[in-house]
Amino acid sequence: MPELFHLRTFSPRASLAAFLAFAVFLPTSAMALTEVTGVNTVKRNDKFNSQQEWGNPLVLTRAGHITRVMDGRYGFSIIDASGTKIADFLTPQEAIGFKLAAGEYKVEPALCRIHRHHHVEVTVTED
């Protein structure tokens, strides 16, 4: 009867190759990049001088750079925790690659002068 499973001992060379593969790929997977997204929607009523705003701040534990912007068609601003405007962008494409230090930021969409309502989502990949 033929033997279905053949047990083979590992050679030192195969063991070393397996160890090196594990040692190289483990640190790279453990250091995966983190993406953080900040969201804000603003709705303004000029007739009643009122405004609604909702969303989530952009909270970075490490420095990073902007990798994606959704909406923001009329532009948007990035404001730090102290209320200082860090950057203004006229189009979403301008923001790609912009570097931010660790900290908390608010993303604020520019509003259409007719509809007075807009939304922006900014994703940052931490370095």
Each residue's pLDDT tens digit, 74-91: 999 999 999 999 999 999
Tell me the pTM: 0.71
- Residue type present at position 91: T
Instruction: Count the Cβ atoms, other than its own, within 10 Å of residue 5.
Output: 5
Instruction: Count the Cβ atoms, other than its own, within 10 Å of residue 78.
Output: 23
Residue 16 above 90 pLDDT? no
Q: Report the alpha-carbon distance of residue 107 to residue 120 in Å, rounded.
A: 7
Q: What is the pLDDT of residues 96-106, one digit of tens each?
A: 999 999 999 99
Residue 74 · residue 6 · CB < 8 Å: no
In degrees, rounded to 5, the angle at the alpha carbon of residue 29 between the alpha carbons of residues 24 and 31 is 105
Residue 26 above 80 pLDDT? no
